[in-house]
Structure 1
Amino acid sequence: MKLSLCMIVKDEEQALPACLDSVKDVVDEIVVLDTGSSDRTMAIAQEYGATVAQFPWGNDFAAARNQALKYVTGDWVLVLDADEQLTEEAGPHIRTAMADDSLLVVSLIRQEIGAVQSPYSLTSRLFRRHEAIRFDRPYHALIDDSVIALLKAEPQWNFATLQVVALIHSGYEVKAIAQKNKQARAQAAMEAYIADHPDDPYVCNKLGALYVNSGKTKEGMALLKRGLKDINIEPPLAYELHYHLGNAYARKRNMDKAVIHYQGAIAQNIFPILKLGALINFGALLHEAGEYEMAQRPLSAAIEIDPTCMLAYYNLGLVFKALGHYQNAIAAYEKAIELQPDYAQAYQNLGVVWFKCGNVDEALNYFGKAIAILEQTNLLEADQLRRQLKDMGFEAPQFKVQLEV
């Protein structure tokens, strides 16, 4: 079975090498469609032996992806963006799935670097090459609609989900979004689409979440509620709609409705790892409401699902601190720091807990580390913390830290 990588790119000379390095020993063919690069993107693709073609950009991701598919010759297609990488453990699982003659589409679990509140997602990026499978929707282009139509004529096909995290996506990092103005491009494309498809639950979800996150809360919530009216939505999409509504109601301080939607998200029949965002936010909401014992449940569930989930440990530390369980709080904060050594809030809260335990030297040590990190990320907060300590008659030791870029 021949596997083809299929990509659309524009000005991706920085990210493309890492993406292609991650797949070069897994795929049999690389197809790169360039939509107007002015840098070395095309040259880099050619250095990796890719079939390179050009296509004028028309503000339609689906049209570009479908054009790229025309150059693919493999039996199976793997679709990646330049800011994604294939994990090392995914390769053998992909080959096993391809050997199953009954499979048409394999969904991949993607880790969202920088999106700490929703660290994993599910995406249909691996599929059997079939003339009926095409992308639609101008942004967040999907094959789902064409696959549903195909199944009416060929109902024998099955679906699967790879049981490991297959993709690493860095596109949600603040620096990446700012550099490419992704939010503006996404909003423009989705607004144009939803004008003609006002009840499309997928776009209601994506555009609604974008609105909520950009401060247009009322408009975003209206779209999210509209998306939930579709009685045929699949559990992964229902999860996202409930999750984003939970976030919106939490911001509006409507705790009762936030709880309803977080619970609605958690109740969906999806892979547990995809529920981390709702579990973490639900736990944080319960902590804020003073329901400390209840808050431990979703946070502990998140850690059981993903023992590397830093934010779950950090929030659990907040809960233990509120309960006065200081040794448990210290252990939780230390685990959060182990997982993310530059997380200043964990150091700062460790300082608070050590103060409460009566160990001033240890407390000042952690405050000093928090200040050192904040001096490189948020000078205002660093100065505030330093002044607060000075007002209490203390001075934290100075540290030098090297943050990862």
Structure 2
Amino acid sequence: MIVKNEAATLSKCLSSVRKVVDEMVIVDTGSIDRTPYIAKQFGAKVHHFQWCNDFSAARNAALKYVTGDWILVLDADEVLTSGIVPQLKEAIARDEYLLINLVRQEVGAEQSPYSLVSRLFRNHPDIRFERPYHALIDDSVSLMLMKDPNWQVGYLPGVAILHTGYQKNAIAQNNKYAKAAAAMEAFLATHPDDPYVCSKLGALYVETGKISQGMELLKRGVATSDENYDILYELHYHLGIAHSRLRDFPQAISHYQAAIKLPIYPMLKLGAYNNLGNLLKAAGDLNGAKNAYATTLKIDPTFVVGHYNMGMIFKAMGLLTDAIASYQAAINLNPYYAEAYQNLGVVLLKAGNHQDSLTVFKKAIALHERYNPEEAKRLRQGLQEMGLV
């Protein structure tokens, strides 16, 4: 790990791996809080590195201290899931693997909750991180595979890493957007056709409102990505978002459909299927939207937003019993889902179940009071106008 001022999250991270790994190597890049102390309390070997605005340089410095045969890389805002450990141990016991990709879940993400990350690999002198931001070993691994095709890259099915760092409050606290943009723009200046940085920087531009700049980079990435399907998926996915922001919905649908057709791990496609469903629903194609949402749930039955969206489709179709079941499934998975309670209340009311409807509306209002007071006020007024309260 490389760390800086991670006292709030480090204990949880190290607790998740303490009984799994043989050593913990942590490189601190300038903490002024209790981060180094907490790391040592867990038995980690703590080293120090002068930060130079280059994540790869810091991660490569950490590699120098590793003594084990395999390396697992985590960030302080991540944890290793206990359920993946047997698969992980079985995989690293096989001789053919050079790198094993892991599925990471973005906790709290509504649109694209899963990604594949290259975080488990052999301790080999030719493997090193590159790129100043979004540091990756993939480039060095690709060179090794070209030299020795007997090596293989694998992946573990199932979620291996839980990540909380992309939640909006975490991004705001750490000024992540500004840091990312500065580092990637410097890299782009010397690597103008690199599809990975085109994808990541293009997506960041779209997210921060620089849509035309973002689309130019994303299109450049599509033109140069060859058969790198994982990156090509990301490029089409973010082009779908960009066109949606511009209200060019046919083009957005086209890009999501292109993303879905790519031969990549199905869990990674949830965002494209979900966004495609939203656009088809808005266009009045309820059956098309239903099929898209149903596919998300076939891929991941625990996809909360998928259940909620199915509820919205069933409600629009007048299938009240199915809508109730879908909203209840979303609530069972996320008991704090105010919108699911609210829409469940609407459907119960339509079904003539006034008492249960009122109970559910009260729960929705209570949750909105905590997270969205304006919506709580609007909902309460609506119920008063209908004479329900």
Matches within 5 A, 1:210-229: 210-229=204-223
Contact kept? 2:13, 2:80, Cα under 8 Å: yes
Equivalent residues of 1:201, 1:233 under 8 A apart = no
1:72 aligns with 2:66: yes
The answer on 1:374 being equivalent to 2:374 is: no
**Which SS does the other structure have where 2:284 is aligned?**
coil
> Secondary structure of the equivalent of 1:89?
helix
Cα 1:243–1:314, aligned 2, differ >3 Å: closer, same or farther? Answer: same
Question: Is 1:19 aligned to residue 2 of structure 2?
Answer: no
Q: CA deviation at 1:328?
A: 0.6
- Write the distance in 1 (CA, Å) between the matches of 2:330 and 2:245: 25
* Aligned: 1:390 with 2:384: yes
Q: Which one-letter code corresponds to 2:300 in the other structure?
A: D
- Structure 1 CA distance for aligned equivalents of residues 360 and 208 of structure 2: 34
Q: How does 1:131-170 map to 2 (within 5 A)?
A: 131-170=125-164
- Give the superposition deviation at 1:293: 1.1
Are the aligned partners of 1:114 and 1:174 in contact in 2 as well (CA < 8 Å)?
A: no
Q: Aligned equivalents of 2:316 and 2:155: distance in 1?
A: 40
Equivalents in 2 of 1:67, 1:169: separation in Å? Answer: 23
Give the match for residue 334 of structure 1.
Answer: 328
Q: Is the 8 A contact 2:195 2:225 kept in 1?
A: no
Which residue among 200, 205, 209 is the counterpart of 2:199? 205
Helix, strand or coil at the partner of 2:324: helix
Once the two structures are overlaid, the 10-residue window that deviates more, 366-375 or 232-241, is: 232-241
- Structure 2 Cα separation of the partners of residues 135 and 202 of structure 1: 14
Does structure 1 residue 52 correspond to structure 2 residue 50?
Answer: no
Q: Which amino acid aligns with 1:23?
A: V
Alignment of 1:3-402 (within 5 A): 7-395=1-389
Calculate the TM-score normalised by the size of structure 2.
0.98
How much has 1:170 moved relative to structure 2?
Answer: 0.8
In structure 2, do the counterparts of structure 1 residues 384 and 298 end up closer, same or farther at CA, with 3 Å as the change threshold?
Answer: same
Residue 391 (structure 1) shift: 2.4
Task: Tell me if structure 2 keeps the 8 A contact 1:246–1:258.
Answer: yes
Q: Identity of paired residues, percent?
A: 56
Residue identity in the other structure for 1:224? L
Mapped to 1, the partners of 2:51 and 2:384 lie a distance apart of: 57
Cα deviation for residue 231 of structure 1 reads 4.5
Distance in structure 1 (CA, Å) of the matches to 2:312 and 2:52: 48
Name the CA distance, whole Å, in 2 between partners of 1:300 and 1:86.
Answer: 29
TM-superposed CA distance for 1:94, in Å, is 1.3
Following TM superposition, the consecutive aligned residue runs of length 4 or more in structure 1 with deviations greater than 3 angstroms are none
Aligned residue for 1:167, secondary structure, equals: strand
Residues in 1 aligned to 2:223 and 2:383: alpha-carbon distance in whole angstroms: 52
Count of paired positions: 389
Aligned-residue CA RMSD (Å): 1.1
Structure 2 gap segments, 5+ residues each: none
1:234-257: CA deviation from partner (whole Å, max 9, x where unpaired)? 111111111111112122221211
Question: Does the Cα contact within 8 Å between 2:145 and 2:152 map onto a contact in 1?
Answer: no
Partner secondary structure for residue 118 of structure 2: strand
Q: TM-score, normalised by structure 1?
A: 0.94
Structure 2 distance, partners of 1:213, 1:231, is: 21
Stretch deviating more after TM superposition (208-217 or 357-366):
357-366
Q: Which runs of no fewer than 5 residues in structure 1 stay unpaired?
A: 1-6, 396-405
**Stretch of structure 1 that moved more, 310-319 or 170-179:** 170-179
**Cα offset for 1:258?**
1.0
Match of 1:401 in 2: none
- The answer to whether the 8 A contact 1:110-1:122 is kept is yes
